[in-house]
Amino acid sequence: MSERGKLAAWLLALVTASWLTAPSWLAGGLLAVLLLCGRDAVRLSRRALLATASFSGTVSLAYLGQAWWQSRALPLDWLLTVNLRVLLMALLTFLFIERVNLFQALAFSRRLSFLLVLAVSQSLGLKRTLAEFRLGLQSRSPRPAGLRARYRAAAHAAAWLLDRALANAHESAQAMQSRGMFR
């Protein structure tokens, strides 16, 4: 199947999973996706669990607590349905990320591909520099930095990011124009 076909199949599977409200169908879907994951099943399941645990866990525990407080009953159907659906949809996404080259999947639009390549490559570079800024602040401060110093550092980092974005945009535009990208 082509990368575009995989993208379409993933989107269709995601929308279908979002309509499911029967735990048996959701469990069946989850089993099918785990089989599709093959040897990566455990690793991808772990990633999906970690990515969703904070929100799902907080909401599930709060809803369990509220239901128990109000009616001394546990909403097990809801708990099973929603958590299976969340896990199934997250696993589908991580399987997609693992198996599909998004840059190729979006290759039907030349401009969209360029946009994605430029945005992602610059994002990763900026993220790395931000980590260095954080380490810089730590190394300059013998004691943990105060609120004022951390605010100044955050504001400087934000301004630097936007300033860098302006420079990157200008440089990329010149580089692409010189290579005839806009003709």
Partner 1 sequence: MHIPDGFIAPQMYLPLYGLAAGLWAYGAKRVARDLDESTLPWLASLTAASFALSFVALPLPGGTSAHVTGVGLLAASFGIWNAFMAASLVFAIQALLFGDGGVTTLPLNALAMGFAGAVAARGLFLALRHLHAGLALFLAGWIGLFLPAVLIALALGAQPLLAHDAAGAPLYFPFGWSVTLPALLIPHALLGLGEGALTLLGVRQIERLRLRYRHD
Which x/- pattern over 78-117 shows residues binding partner 1 (rule: CB under 8 A)? x--xx--xx-xxx--xx--x----x--------x--xxx-
Does 140 bind partner 1 (CB under 8 A)? Our answer is no
CB-nearer residue toward partner 1: 2 or 18: 18
Asked if 108 and 4 touch (Cβ cutoff 8 Å), the reply is: yes
Does 25 bind partner 1 (CB under 8 A)? Our answer is no
Residue 101: C-alpha distances to residues 63, 92, 104, 113 (Å): 38, 15, 5, 11
Give exposure, 51-68, as e/b (b: 16+ Cβ within 10 Å).
bbeeebeeebeeeeeebe
Single out the residue of 15, 32, 61, 76 in contact with partner 1 (rule: CB under 8 A): 15
Question: How many residues bind to partner 1 according to rule CB under 8 A?
Answer: 75
Side chain identity, residue 55: F
CB of 1 to partner 1, least distance (A): 18
